[in-house]
Structure 1
């Protein structure tokens, strides 16, 4: 659905307002919401007031911000919630072992959505954040997902433009395809300063035990000044396997 189509329905207009907020926004003025959404000022003002009443927006001194009510709804999403509950002990163990930033991400279109991020006081200054998105082709976790994704998605990503996020982003389809083949064979994918300067990571997919479909992926990220991802490949692969086995056992008990 295009923005023009969305603007014709109430739900579409609400979504335009909510999607006006990016991960970097603390709050937005009404004028900025109007500018980003393309809605008439009176419509944006009325719907923003209704969203405040529904606890999906909060009114602030400067305008509006996303409310905790949205977080509550998000945590009820069955797939991510169940996955997060099972994965968290493994992520915490992985953090305790490596003392580097640990991610859990899921596939959404041509992007990875970060479901969880664990990092201590010295965590890497990676561009990822919980609830945030990054392109698949330039992150270790994205490449782990893409390597095991549907062949149609892989073809779409490789045949489309590959955005350059840093000087080392891989934008040559042939080189990226070779990395995806290697990731599928070894069970781990790597990133070296491809999403941002100075960081590297190793990632592994969480595969459905029954179908071998990719469910999610996990990674360990650190600054190249002190971190090399290769020695952590076995630990990341083992954690991903543990999450997959636990998911399978839970589904068997529930089924």
Structure 2
């Protein structure tokens, strides 16, 4: 129900407030939240106050705000994403112990790759991924796997949009991406050299579901010129273990 002059609902305003928090912006003032959410100051302070009272936001001694533990608690109850992460962790740890770079788990969420977990070695190379962070589907190894096994409707929607280059190697032509997706389906994996970061190579495989789609993508990020054979072998083995655990 719309109940503001601008026509947005209470739910709209709450969502806009919560979306101002990101993996790199975890603490804000009410004024900063209002500005980023596009809300009048009085509205922002009222919404923030209600969320603090409900335990969905926390306020520290200096008045700064962060996401509250109650929001995390509610989000993880009966969460499909949490179940996938829990099922994947033993296999991911085995991959990480062998490859010793970055091992990641992602799911398809609102036409982006949402990363549920990342395990990293202290000596591992560059990696832009963050837990609970999102990356574009066409520019990441995990994203290409998720897109390759997604419904045709999702594929068409993503490919109809401008595909932003992250590096000079990022595929941005829809025809090129379509051919890459067909290759991923045929091979059962993808190797993306320099797509998201010039110095890195992403290697990913699908965690398949019963409907021939992908529940998740399991990936390893390697230095750009590193051999990929061991990573692929370990990822395929781990994906089968995760699929069995999710049955």
After TM superposition, the score normalised by the length of structure 1 is 0.88
The CA deviation at 1:230 is 3.9
Runs ≥4 in structure 1, deviation > 4 angstroms? 4-7
Name 1:53's counterpart in structure 2. Answer: 53
Count residues with an aligned counterpart. Answer: 245
Q: Is the 8 A contact 2:106 2:116 kept in 1?
A: yes
Structure 2 alignment gaps of length 5 or more: none
1:186 to 2:187 alignment: yes
After superposition, the CA RMSD in angstroms is 2.2
Name 1:252's counterpart in structure 2. Answer: none
The CA deviation at 1:173 is 1.8
1:156 to 2:153 alignment: no
Q: Could you say if the C-alpha distance between residues 161 and 52 of structure 1 is closer, same or farther in structure 2, counting changes exceeding 3 Å?
A: same
Name 2:241's counterpart in structure 1. Answer: 242
Moved more, 40-49 or 55-64: 55-64
Map Cα deviations across residues 46-74 of structure 1 (whole Å, 9 max, x no partner). 22122122222121336212222222223
* Matches of 2:155 and 2:81, distance apart in 1: 23
Map Cα deviations across residues 147-181 of structure 1 (whole Å, 9 max, x no partner). 11111212222232111112221112222222111
Q: Could you say if the C-alpha distance between residues 132 and 144 of structure 1 is closer, same or farther in structure 2, counting changes exceeding 3 Å?
A: same
Map Cα deviations across residues 14-42 of structure 1 (whole Å, 9 max, x no partner). 11111112221131122211111121211
2:191 match: secondary structure: strand
1:23 to 2:23 alignment: yes
1:28 match: secondary structure: coil
The CA deviation at 1:5 is 10
Q: Could you say if the C-alpha distance between residues 142 and 123 of structure 1 is closer, same or farther in structure 2, counting changes exceeding 3 Å?
A: same
Map Cα deviations across residues 61-107 of structure 1 (whole Å, 9 max, x no partner). 36212222222223224211211111110111111111111111100
Structure 1 alignment gaps of length 5 or more: 249-255
* Matches of 1:5 and 1:142, distance apart in 2: 39
**1:104-253 equivalence runs, <5 A:** 104-208=105-209, 210-224=210-224, 227-248=226-247
Q: Could you say if the C-alpha distance between residues 108 and 232 of structure 1 is closer, same or farther in structure 2, counting changes exceeding 3 Å?
A: same
2:26 match: secondary structure: coil
* Matches of 1:83 and 1:27, distance apart in 2: 28
The CA deviation at 1:124 is 3.2
Moved more, 139-148 or 229-238: 229-238
Moved more, 211-220 or 150-159: 150-159
Q: Is the 8 A contact 2:208 2:214 kept in 1?
A: yes
1:90 match: secondary structure: helix
* Matches of 1:77 and 1:106, distance apart in 2: 16
Q: Could you say if the C-alpha distance between residues 78 and 43 of structure 1 is closer, same or farther in structure 2, counting changes exceeding 3 Å?
A: same
After TM superposition, the score normalised by the length of structure 2 is 0.91
The CA deviation at 1:190 is 1.7
* Matches of 1:13 and 1:170, distance apart in 2: 36
Q: Could you say if the C-alpha distance between residues 86 and 162 of structure 1 is closer, same or farther in structure 2, counting changes exceeding 3 Å?
A: same
2:116 match: secondary structure: strand
* Matches of 1:160 and 1:146, distance apart in 2: 14
Name 1:38's counterpart in structure 2. Answer: 38
